[in-house]
Structure 1
Amino acid sequence: MQENENYKILLVDDEPDILEFLAYNLKKEGFQVQTAQNGREALKVAQEQLPHLIVLDVMMPGMDGIETCEEIKKQPQLQDSLVAFLTARGEDYSQIAGFEAGADDYIAKPIKPKVLVSRVRALLKRFRPASEGEADGGKGLIVMGELTIDRERYVVQLRDQELNLPKKEFELLLLLASKPDKVFTRDEIYNAVWGDNIIVGDRTIDVHIRKLREKIGQDHIRTIKGVGYKFLE
């Protein structure tokens, strides 16, 4: 429990009963928990508390979870915060919209307390501040033509334009670019970027690849049908 006390979690839902249920079970495990009942309040609390994990309801009046996530990802001080959507909706388009907004995972409700705690712990194992660098070791730059990936600053430079990518997009790009022309299988990508103990939708990688191509161009990442993806110099 002592280890959990180091983690701050922000819960966002417009239904007080759900907030109370989630907060009670996470506080019981020793987590520091803050709550908010709408997107605007969530942004304010997040900027003040800098939580490690933000659990967002998708369906909220006013600013919904997707919009809130997009705003969170625009804040430099929240770049390291993980975001998980809490939703009863299972439609593919909802999950795709969430991952496009920068979400790290989905938690379906209703959820049992033990499962909730297990999912939260699994998510928090993935928390790593950008300043610590990535798992492939070493800091510095990867330079490929007009594209530069700065591991220390967590930014991508395309010609004279600086791109601040959401964390998972950056990690995916860094993984592929770390070994040009190597074909990374979908399983390798899932394990390296999302963690092998995290369950994410089948379309997650495809969504992130599409968003990367929109930002860095169509020529850098090639799809190897039925296998995975590789980065071209």
Structure 2
Amino acid sequence: MSHKILIVEDEAEIARLITLNLEKEGFDCQHCRDGIAALAVFKEQQPDVIVLDLMLPGLNGLEVCTRIRRETEGKDPYILMLTAKGEEIDRVVGLSTGADDYLVKPFSAPELIARIRALLRRSLRHIETEDLQLRTQHFSVNETQRIAVKIEGSKEQELNLTSIEFDLLKTFVSQPNRVWNRTQLIDRLWGDDFYGDDRVVDTHIARLRKKIEPDSAHPQFIKTVLGVGYKFEDEKTS
């Protein structure tokens, strides 16, 4: 079955070229021209990847990305953000809203296709993984089913995490009390597919803290190690 790609681009010629090249590669493509339409199509079609332009009429790409990541139902798609700007701050802001990758216009069709295939390879790696259950005193992570649960006494709460947040928590739970620097976390989360600034790790840490910490301003689990990186403090259980 071909992967579904939603293309959100207001420039008709660019959208046509993207659609043409992706369909040649066997992808099932749908196109819309503005942010409001993108949110409606996302809910209806549940695409695997969204190619999302930053500058859109109505809602811009950052707001569209943020709203998609807030959705609690349906598929959690990979988001490849497009922009005509090349400044570093735009790349950091784009990734901080939950985008998985970032591509600056003008770009070539082979580069776009390579980025999309790199995102989809992450899904294949997840499928091929054994049914591994990782546990600490307060967290349980099932890698195959991609379910993360917070445990408080006899109560269990399933966490609503993005793909990156899940992989980040999985990494921490796999080796509690280890100190990780940004480069090590990037290797775990993106590998060779990463394009961006390592400060984006801080943003995803902050987002994960809001979902798992009793008080994200005074974290109990994900501690900052000044000048080094981050440490996940919890007791490992069998």
What TM-score does the superposition give when structure 1 sets the normalisation length? 0.83
Q: How does 1:24-35 map to 2 (within 5 A)?
A: 24-35=20-31
CA distance in 2: counterparts of 1:115 and 1:150, whole angstroms: 34
Kept in 2, the 8 Å contact 1:156–1:164? The answer is no
CA distance in 1: counterparts of 2:220 and 2:95, whole angstroms: 23
Match of 1:76 among 73, 77, 90: 73
Q: How does 1:137-216 map to 2 (within 5 A)?
A: 137-140=130-133, 142-144=135-137, 147-151=138-142, 152=145, 154-157=147-150, 159=152, 163-215=159-211, 216=213
SS in 2 for 1:33: strand
Kept in 1, the 8 Å contact 2:95–2:102? The answer is no
SS in 2 for 1:102: coil
1:153, distance to aligned residue in structure 2 (A)? 5.9
Alignment of 1:232 onto 2:233: yes
Does the C-alpha gap of structure 1 residues 162 and 124 become closer, same or farther in structure 2, counting only changes over 3 Å?
A: closer
Deviation string 1:117-163 (CA, Å, 9 cap, x unpaired) is 22222222122597x59x5x54446243xx33443463443746654
Does the C-alpha gap of structure 1 residues 57 and 189 become closer, same or farther in structure 2, counting only changes over 3 Å?
A: same
CA distance in 1: counterparts of 2:125 and 2:58, whole angstroms: 31
Match of 2:35 among 34, 39, 43: 39
Segment of structure 1 superposing worse, 44-53 or 151-160: 151-160
Does the C-alpha gap of structure 1 residues 200 and 149 become closer, same or farther in structure 2, counting only changes over 3 Å?
A: farther
Give 1:115's aligned residue.
111
Give 2:97's aligned residue.
101
SS in 1 for 2:74: helix
1:20, distance to aligned residue in structure 2 (A)? 0.7
Deviation string 1:195-214 (CA, Å, 9 cap, x unpaired) is 32332322111111122233
1:174, distance to aligned residue in structure 2 (A)? 1.5
Q: How does 1:82-93 map to 2 (within 5 A)?
A: 82-93=78-89
Number of aligned residues: 223
SS in 2 for 1:6: coil
1:55, distance to aligned residue in structure 2 (A)? 0.8
CA distance in 1: counterparts of 2:146 and 2:26, whole angstroms: 32
Deviation string 1:30-89 (CA, Å, 9 cap, x unpaired) is 22211111122222222232221111011112111112112222142122x111111122
- Counterpart code for 1:148: F
Give 1:221's aligned residue.
222
1:111, distance to aligned residue in structure 2 (A)? 0.3
1:226, distance to aligned residue in structure 2 (A)? 4.6
Alignment of 1:7 onto 2:3: yes
Does the C-alpha gap of structure 1 residues 87 and 149 become closer, same or farther in structure 2, counting only changes over 3 Å?
A: farther
Segment of structure 1 superposing worse, 82-91 or 120-129: 120-129
Match of 2:46 among 33, 50, 56: 50
CA distance in 2: counterparts of 1:65 and 1:157, whole angstroms: 32
> Identity over the aligned pairs, expressed in percent?
39
CA distance in 2: counterparts of 1:58 and 1:22, whole angstroms: 15
User: Where do 4+ consecutive residues of structure 1 move more than 6 Å?
Assistant: none
